Amino acid sequence: MLIVISPAKTLDFDAVPVISEYSQPRFLAQSQQLIDDLKKLSVTDVASLMKLSDKLAGLNMARFQTWSHPFDLTNAKQAILAFKGDVYTGLDADSLDATGFEFMQQHLRILSGLYGVLRPLDLMQAYRLEMGTKFSNANGTNLYQFWGGQLRESIESELSDGVLINLASNEYFKALQANKLNVRIITPIFKDWKNGQYKMISFYAKKARGLMTRYIIDHQINEPEQMQKFDSDGYRFSADMSHGDEWVFIRDHD
């Protein structure tokens, strides 16, 4: 069983990592191809491409220019500790023990526009390149075409039991070509009670994806049906609202 989540725009490369163990990304050669092309852009180009202010475009242009490998703890950080944001707040990787990190390294993958697929302890350098960016490259006009079937094949090769837990956004999960994935895909959906009905509220749903990931890690879950016992932050499984492998979890308060 593997879990996939999305990366985050917010990064933290200042805090000292709580763990010294690390691994190397599998698709560094492809990342280098993208970086070589990104380095050719101007700040104006980056601002337009990513819809950023000139200040943020300049920051990310500088990141592209200084990106280099090999990676180690002096110039990079483990992905799970570098990414911040709602999903990662829910996951709270900094508080995991050694057993939790080991389980997470085996069962969690982070999809990335620049790095393709990252294991939690894979080192990465700061970047911003969302999967949906329409960035022309040697393989096409966007990053979905750049990665092609590589990410799907990578995920499939690791799935011994053929169960994929989709806790990623639509933008990132699209890169796995779900219609071609020869695996069972379970997609948890999180809804909160608001204005007389259960709704998916982006902020809460993102955090809940992190909470579910942490629940799986803490309980060392290998049988997906055990996920239906998820009860973090007041959520509970709703069999009535679920359909097939789209599992709905609901909460009655914000």
State residue 161's pLDDT score.
Answer: 76
State residue 137's pLDDT score.
Answer: 92
Helix axes 54-66, 43-50, angle to 10 degrees: 110
Cα radius of gyration rounded to whole Å, the chain:
18
Would you say residue 162 has pLDDT above 90? no
Cis peptide before 70 (omega within 30 of 0): yes
Would you say residue 253 has pLDDT above 80? no
Could you read off the pLDDT of 89-142 as tens digits, one per residue?
Answer: 999 999 999 999 999 999 999 999 999 999 999 999 999 999 999 999 989 999
216 close to 165: Cβ distance less than 8 angstroms: yes
C-alpha torsion sign, points 195, 200, 201, 203? positive
Number of H helices, E strands in the chain: 10, 10
State residue 102's pLDDT score.
Answer: 98
Phi, psi torsion values for 22, nearest 5 degrees: -155, 165
How much is the average pLDDT of 61-70?
95
How much is the average pLDDT of 216-226?
97
State residue 29's pLDDT score.
Answer: 96
Could you read off the pLDDT of 194-212 as tens digits, one per residue?
Answer: 989 999 999 999 999 999 9
Residue 254 — pLDDT band, cuts 50, 70, 90?
A: low
Would you say residue 233 has pLDDT above 80? yes
Tell how far CA 137 is from the center of its chain: 22
Would you say residue 160 has pLDDT above 80? no
**Structure-token match 């959906």, residue found:** 189
